[in-house]
Amino acid sequence: MTAPIPNRLARNPENFHAPRWSEPVVTEMGCPGRRGVVFEDAPMPDLPGKAARKAKPELPELTEHDALRHYLHLSQMTLGMMGVSLFGTCTMKYNPRIGERAAMEHLAHIHPLQHPDTLQGVMEVYANFSDFLCEVSGMDQFVFQAGGGADAAYTHACVTRAYHASRGELEQRDQIITTIQTHPCSPATANTAGFEVITLSLEENGYPSIEQLKSVLGPRTAALMVNNPDDMGIYNPDIKEWVRLVHEAGGLCFYDHANFNGVMTRLRARELGFDACMYMLHKTFGAPKGGGGPAVGAYGCAEHLVPFLPSPLVVRDGDAFKLDDDRPQSIGRIREFWGNAPQVLKAYAWARAMGADGLREAADISVLANNYMDKRLGEVKGVSRSNPDITAPRMEMTRHSVEQVTKDTGCTIVDISNRMTDFGIDALWLSHEPWLVAEPFTPEAGELWSREDIDYWIDVLEHVVHEAYETPEVVKTAPHNAPIAQIKGDDMADPERWATTWRAYVRKNAAKVKAAE
């Protein structure tokens, strides 16, 4: 018998069931001759021989009603799994509708190849938001080309390379230092840019010691790339001394601010001595992410690195704005045009709406909510937290573990995550690789979720853990109330057994398709 879930919300979680439709892919639907909109015959364009199609495109023929119903069903199945999502290290925030409206109204009908004189409003947003982030960070210039956090980390690796090359030291300075709890994009991008990566290990305080850092510094040091606080929720209080030592050795320092939510307005990267930093607009600054929209890694740096920034830069020219492409030391483009303008506009609108007081309050709520969760999760059977000997409060997230539950019941964190979706909880965020904590999960409430939502999330976890001990097969075979049951990943290793387009599916499954016809 499973334990009942305390009903802190006005809902009955036992009755939760996501919408489920037996829905084919759209290319399998319809019949020849069906139409949603009928157009007058258009004249045949005069195309070169190779450009003209030899056969009609293989498109489904549907009425407007059929198409609407099909995509409504798909959206219902997707939205049915949008429950409470405490997605740690990724700071899932509500994306205000006003940002979507602003992007559609002001950006939908322009193109970055227009003459700059006709794009003054967009460039003003870029310039103003750069100023805003400079105020938050203490840096001197921001660019928004990078398509996410890894792109921004790679930008810094390339800027580091250009900086040392300009000083005639690139061949000598070939090592970038990170730590084991730094986000994997930092060592990965440093390696991609041609550097040797040195990874520092954790010590008793939950971060590497100054002595360990000193042991790897030297004439080969090109840069330090770290995030602080880390995903365990631990802040390294020695970070200012770290930066001083790296500078003393001749290296640059990059601050990955993916975990900025708990320290907004509490610290400025430049005041800690960092040469450059990065913010994720699709996390901290309220712009959509994942299925909601592409990512942006805002990369900012101090004056001595500005000459090496990606081009073009949006700069002020008197009372107007222009694109500065005359930058001989620039690392060049890292992405097309100026980056993702709609996301920049949405993040700028969010930041202006929040203001300095709002950012500070959001940081306070984020830290408070995390420590409230930390206390309650510590009371759940079989759940432990990372670095258990460190009793000090954590920042905006804490990494936890169900290793004991797995040892006792055989139910892994993935099993538990699958089962929690049966109660309207979005799948857990586990951990970046490598797993420093066995069977990990990393919730982050941020400033978005209410105490009722947080309590409900923890209640569901506690209920599922109880099920793992009492009826483990229920947990291992979950989800039961989702649109799709467990998906086996075996086929993903065989490209002949999956397809990302209808044409590829037909080619790989010709016999099956023919039989169905």
Q: Tell me the C-alpha distance between 473 and 386, whole Å.
A: 28
Domains annotated on the chain, with CATH? 97-353 (3.40.640.10)
Task: Give the pLDDT of residue 52.
Answer: 81
Cβ contacts of residue 84 below 8 Å, gap of 6+? 424, 425, 426, 449, 453, 456, 457
The candidate with the shortest Cα–Cα distance to 150, out of 256, 292, 264, is 256
Q: Which two tokens stand for residue 308?
A: 């090496």
Task: Give the pLDDT of residue 169.
Answer: 97
Using CB atoms within 10 A of its CB, is residue 511 exposed (0-12), middle (13-18) or buried (19+)?
exposed
How does pLDDT run across 439-488, given as a tens digit for each residue?
A: 999 999 999 888 989 999 999 999 999 999 999 999 999 999 888 778 77
Task: Give the pLDDT of residue 290.
Answer: 66
Helix or strand or coil: residue 418? helix
- 29 — phi, psi (to 5°)? -105, 170
Task: Give the pLDDT of residue 95.
Answer: 83
Contact between 255 and 228 (Cβ < 8 Å) = yes
How are beta strands 400-401 and 440-441 bridged, if at all?
antiparallel
CA atoms within 13 A on the CB side of 168: 0
Q: Tell me the C-alpha distance between 277 and 252, whole Å.
A: 11
Q: Tell me the C-alpha distance between 399 and 483, whole Å.
A: 29
**Partner residues linked to 122 by β-bridges:** none
Q: Tell me the C-alpha distance between 514 and 216, whole Å.
A: 64
Integer CA distances (angstroms), 367 to 44, 261, 340, 391, in order: 63, 9, 30, 15
Contact between 107 and 341 (Cβ < 8 Å) = yes
Helix or strand or coil: residue 66? helix
CA atoms within 13 A on the CB side of 126: 28
Helix or strand or coil: residue 125? helix
What DSSP letter does each residue of 450-496 carry, written as one string?
A: -HHHHHHHHHHHHHHHHHHHH-HHHHHT--SSSSS----SGGGG-GG
Task: Give the pLDDT of residue 165.
Answer: 97
Q: What is the pLDDT along the chain (517 residues), one digit of tens a residue?
A: 455 555 544 455 567 788 888 888 898 898 998 998 888 887 878 888 778 888 888 889 999 999 999 999 998 887 765 678 888 777 878 888 888 888 888 898 899 899 999 999 999 999 999 999 999 999 999 999 998 889 999 999 999 999 999 999 999 999 999 999 999 999 999 999 999 999 999 998 999 999 999 999 999 999 999 999 998 999 999 999 999 999 999 999 999 999 999 999 999 999 999 999 999 998 899 888 765 567 899 999 999 999 999 999 999 999 999 999 999 999 999 888 888 999 999 999 999 999 999 999 999 999 999 999 999 999 999 999 999 988 888 999 999 999 999 999 999 999 999 999 998 888 888 998 889 999 999 999 999 888 989 999 999 999 999 999 999 999 999 999 888 778 777 777 788 878 888 888 888 887 666 666 6
Task: Give the pLDDT of residue 5.
Answer: 52
276 residue type, one letter = A
Contact between 305 and 281 (Cβ < 8 Å) = no
Give 260's DSSP letter.
G
Q: Which two tokens stand for residue 88?
A: 């740690």
**Partner residues linked to 276 by β-bridges:** 254, 301
Give 425's DSSP letter.
B
Helix or strand or coil: residue 81? coil
Q: Tell me the C-alpha distance between 221 and 449, whole Å.
A: 42
Q: Which two tokens stand for residue 485?
A: 């049951």
Contact between 441 and 413 (Cβ < 8 Å) = yes
319 residue type, one letter = D
How does pLDDT run across 349-394, given as a tens digit for each residue?
A: 999 999 999 999 999 999 999 999 999 999 999 999 999 988 888 9
Neighbours of 55 (CB within 10 A): 5
Q: Which two tokens stand for residue 37?
A: 């909109």
Q: Tell me the C-alpha distance between 208 and 210, whole Å.
A: 7
Integer CA distances (angstroms), 270 to 133, 253, 278, 403, 441, in order: 12, 10, 12, 39, 32
Per-residue b or e along 239-275, where b marks 16 or more CB atoms closer than 10 Å to that residue's CB = beebbebbbebbbbbbbbbbbbbbbbeebbbbebbbb
Q: Tell me the C-alpha distance between 162 and 362, whole Å.
A: 37
